[in-house]
């Protein structure tokens, strides 16, 4: 059986990534954009989704706002491509064997973890 890793992240990770990826002048606007996700009861996985939006934004405030707006509609639309980009490109993970599926999960985890831990 294969297992898909799920990141255990915190608000401290969000703060560090915002400082790392965005200009000082944009940080207040970045945090304000992030805080718009998680206000509604259906908006789940708040910290994880906010980090996913940061990853997909790649330092762009307009892109961050776009990612947050998509997350508000369906958080999986942000988590999937941010955390599992290779798995998202496979037509159906059920069509690959367990060894290949695990290899995909491990590759996705490695790239996410390297992004998150980068200084």
Mean pLDDT to the nearest integer, 43-51: 97
Angle between helices 76-83 and 46-57 in degrees, nearest 10: 60
pLDDT tens digits, residue range 55-75?
A: 999 999 999 999 999 999 999
Report d(CA 93, CA 102) in Å as an integer: 10
pLDDT (0 to 100) of residue 98: 85
Please give the residue that has the higher pLDDT: either 93 or 117: 117
Report d(CA 112, CA 55) in Å as an integer: 9
């Amino acid at each position: 059986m294969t297992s898909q890793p799920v990141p255990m992240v915190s608000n401290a990770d969000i703060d560090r990534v915002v400082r790392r990826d965005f200009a000082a002048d944009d940080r207040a606007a970045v945090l304000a954009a992030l805080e718009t996700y998680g206000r509604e009861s259906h908006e789940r996985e708040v910290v994880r989704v906010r980090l996913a939006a940061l990853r997909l934004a790649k330092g762009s405030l307009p892109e961050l706002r776009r990612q947050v707006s998509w997350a508000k509609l369906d958080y999986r639309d942000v988590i999937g491509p941010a955390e599992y980009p290779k798995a998202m490109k496979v037509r159906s993970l059920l069509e690959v064997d367990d060894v290949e599926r695990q290899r995909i999960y491990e590759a996705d985890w490695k790239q996410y973890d390297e992004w998150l831990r980068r200084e």
